[in-house]
Chain A
Amino acid sequence: MTEHDLVTLTLAILIASILAVEIRNLRTASWAYLLHSIFLCGIITSYAYVKHNESLYLWSMTCFATKIVIIPYLLLRFVKQVPQTEHRPIIGFGLSVVALSSLMIIFFQLFKKYIFLLAPTESAQLEPVRSLLAGAFTIFTLGLWTLLTRRDALKTVIGLALLENGVHLVLLALTPQLKETTMIGILTNVVAAVLILLYLSTHIYQLFGTIDTVKLSELKR
């Protein structure tokens, strides 16, 4: 496994994340999220191999169980009960893609120049960690972007999951050699929050026939 492969994996996870955010069909978007999780799991496993940190394999296993099996299962089960097409997002497809790609470019440029501001050790300032850090922050921002611009409850949940995965990638990039990294990664799983959010969304859909979060505004005034 070379440095080059790790950078390729970083780019792959970015593409999968953008697909999960942009695909309008909710079922396909859930599958795209599954793809994103597979790459995430792959990145953790390859870092375990490259950094000779056996404990990371444990993290990749729990990541497999929660992010590849449980969360996509919950998402797909939820999708079965609601309409297949996403509620029109607040910002359209064209603009969204342009914004997201500029975001990616900005982050990669910023991290190339100013990595020393964030990375505490020298090893974290070099490739492939630098790309991973830039990628991680892009995924974090992507999640935030999804939360802010999407109206669909399912997409909101995907946004939250991306946000969390972004943080996990930052953790992996900054301290891949420590045992504690595994512990933090396993403990801070977002799966319980996803479960509760989808449970509430299902109830909301059953009562009102919509999962459009913008329409959930009875309480605004």
Chain B
Amino acid sequence: MTEPIQSFLPLVLILVPILGSILSVLLGMSKIKNAREICALTILAIEALLGIRLATTVFSGHIVASVGSAIIVDGLSALMILLIDTMVVLIVIQSIRYMRREQEHGLCSEGRLKLYYALILLFTGTMTWTVTTNHIVMLYVAMEGSTLATALLVAFYRKRASLEAGYKYVLLVVVGMTFALLGIVIIFAAAYPHLKVGSHALLLTEIGKIAKLIPKNIALLGVAFMTVGFATKGGLVPFHAWLPDAHSEAPSPISALLSGLIIKIGAYALARTVTIFAPTYHAVMVFIAILCSISMLVGIFMALVQDDLKRLLAFSSVSQISYVFEGLGLGTYLGIYGGLFHLVNHTLIKGLLFMSVGAIMYATGGLRKISQLGGLAKKMPVTAFCFIVGALAIGGLPPFNGFMSKFTIFLAIGEQKIYWAMAISVITGVLTLACLIWATYRVFWRAPQAPILVGNPGEVREVPPLMYASIVILALLCIIIGVYPKILYPLLDSATKAVLAIWAAGG
């Protein structure tokens, strides 16, 4: 491993959005028009530029560290930072029109809208912190912070259903994360006797070095608790109860945030911690494969019976995040590569799909039941095109990006000769395609159902460009990565090597 470069940049990257969220609240109090939106976008633009600056350094083969080695940015962190910044900027762009409309319809007050952008900025800060920290307890704290920052966004409308969803979300994820904390404590206690004086038993890079020395029982117990915790954050069955509610009751841009970023954090934490032990213990790999196979099937079968478009996508997320976990759980180069590839793709695709639903809800006055929609292809051609790209991509159809990553994961599972898991993931892929195409057909081509769609032709029309800008960008990214995946390969390679480097250091 090359010697890390000391730099304040990662620290700045964490602090900019957190301080920005305070600024956004203060500016929101002033009378300046659109102050909060402009403030949020400016801060996120700065954040994105700094993120790109940092990522270029990292991808040119360096590792950047701050505060000793408590914060380390390697290939995986840089990839996640790019992903977070891209998604958050696009989500905020869509939020501007979407939330203003919600305010006009009296669904949220002016005061609460002030908090909206502040919380998104705070969330960006905690996310960046999560993916850059090298400290196992800070990882927990930052993940907990990201849960709490989004709690009030999930319960944003303060309606019965959204309050319920918010309550369930906080309770289940915090309980799950407490399990992860127990696992962390157990591993920490087992790791410190093996470390030389002066080295730090809380740094992931140090734990990786002595992972093989930890007694088997303790390692497996700790890993089991951590897997349960991170699987709850990731929304895997049977810890998924919060996910469909939170995804469907939050404002649509926030659904994209949850499905695109929050659940990925569970996968990220798994890659950083559990993957350290996966190569040593075959049992970990099988345990994760079983968990993911169940989750894939349950998720997609639940998705098939949903009438609510957002719940359908939420259950599809349960199913798709399992691919990511399964790939990462294999602990091999190909598995981690495929897992991370799918992580990136799923973030883009689900962001695209949830924001398209947001556009549909914007245009139709809040309709989201599939049985009420219909015939939107003519009325909203741009949204329709983007949604179809998303549906085919998530279904794993070539030449879209979802195909590439899913195929990599199939190969990785096959390489480990777990053929039953491979069969289940292929079947889930087929079912996903069927489910999404069926939903797309009913939403866009079937005869219109609700009165608002049947009535006067001008009432439902394409959303304004500011609304569909984010969707179009994401759809283009899906196509570009699908047709020309080589642009991502060096990034993924660097990220995968970063994961593997942690335990390879143990020799």
On whether the two chains bind one another, the answer is yes
Question: A residues 159-188 with Cβ under 8 Å of B?
Answer: 160, 163-164, 166-167, 170-171, 174-175, 178, 180, 183-184, 187-188
Chain B residue contacts of A178, Cβ below 8 A: 192
CB distance from A126 to the nearest CB of B (A): 15
Chain A residue contacts of B182, Cβ below 8 A: 140, 166-167, 170
CB-based nearest A residue for B190:
A120
Interface pick from A8-16, A37-45, A63-71, A203-211: A203-211
Contact of B170 among A120, A124, A197 (CB under 8 A): A197
Interface pick from B94-102, B140-148, B401-409, B416-424: B140-148
Given contacts A167-B181, A184-B185, A216-B167, A196 and B152 within 8 Å (CB-CB): yes
Q: Is the CB of A174 within 8 A of B171?
A: no
Interface pick from B1-9, B154-162, B426-434, B453-461: B154-162
Question: Within 8 Å of chain B (Cβ to Cβ): is A190?
Answer: yes
Question: Within 8 Å of chain A (Cβ to Cβ): is B245?
Answer: yes
Question: Within 8 Å of chain B (Cβ to Cβ): is A147?
Answer: yes
Q: Mark A10-31, 1 if CB is under 8 A from B, else 0.
A: 0000000000000000000000
Q: Is the CB of A167 within 8 A of B178?
A: yes
Chain B residue contacts of A218, Cβ below 8 A: 160-161, 164
CB-based nearest B residue for A188:
B181
Interface centre among A124, A200, A208, A218 (most CB of B within 10 A): A200
Contact of B151 among A124, A164, A196 (CB under 8 A): A196
CB distance from B225 to the nearest CB of A (A): 10
Interface centre among B152, B164, B193, B214 (most CB of A within 10 A): B164
CB distance from B155 to the nearest CB of A (A): 6
Contact of B163 among A167, A187, A190, A207 (CB under 8 A): A207
Question: Within 8 Å of chain B (Cβ to Cβ): is A219?
Answer: yes
Contact of A187 among B137, B171, B214 (CB under 8 A): B137
Given contacts A197-B171, A207-B160, A117 and B218 within 8 Å (CB-CB): yes
Is the interface on chain B under 10, 10 to 19, 20 to 34, or 35 or more residues? Answer: 35 or more
Q: Is the CB of B167 within 8 A of A200?
A: yes
Q: Is the CB of A193 within 8 A of B148?
A: yes
Question: B residues 178-229 with Cβ under 8 Å of A?
Answer: 178, 181-182, 185-186, 188-190, 192-193, 201-202, 214-215, 217-218, 221
Question: Within 8 Å of chain B (Cβ to Cβ): is A91?
Answer: no
Chain B residue contacts of A97, Cβ below 8 A: none
Q: Is the CB of A174 within 8 A of B178?
A: no
Q: Is the CB of B202 within 8 A of A203?
A: no
Question: Within 8 Å of chain A (Cβ to Cβ): is B249?
Answer: yes
Chain A residue contacts of B41, Cβ below 8 A: none
Question: Within 8 Å of chain B (Cβ to Cβ): is A2?
Answer: no
Q: Is the CB of B161 within 8 A of A160?
A: no
Q: Is the CB of B186 within 8 A of A170?
A: yes
Question: Within 8 Å of chain B (Cβ to Cβ): is A118?
Answer: yes
Q: Is the CB of A174 within 8 A of B160?
A: no
Closest 9 CB pairs of A and B: A174-B189, A120-B190, A117-B217, A193-B174, A200-B167, A171-B185, A219-B245, A216-B164, A167-B182
23 contacts between A and B (CB under 8 A): A118-B217, A120-B214, A120-B215, A121-B193, A147-B171, A147-B175, A163-B178, A166-B182, A171-B185, A174-B185, A178-B192, A183-B137, A187-B141, A188-B137, A196-B151, A197-B170, A197-B171, A200-B166, A201-B167, A204-B160, A216-B164, A218-B161, A219-B244
Chain A residues near B (Cβ < 8 Å): 117-118, 120-121, 124, 140, 144, 147, 153, 156, 160, 163-164, 166-167, 170-171, 174-175, 178, 180, 183-184, 187-188, 190, 192-193, 196-197, 200-201, 203-204, 207-208, 213, 216, 218-219
Additional A-B contacts beyond A167-B178, A188-B181 (14; CB < 8 A): A117-B218, A120-B193, A160-B171, A164-B181, A174-B185, A175-B188, A180-B188, A193-B147, A200-B155, A213-B167, A216-B167, A216-B168, A218-B164, A219-B248
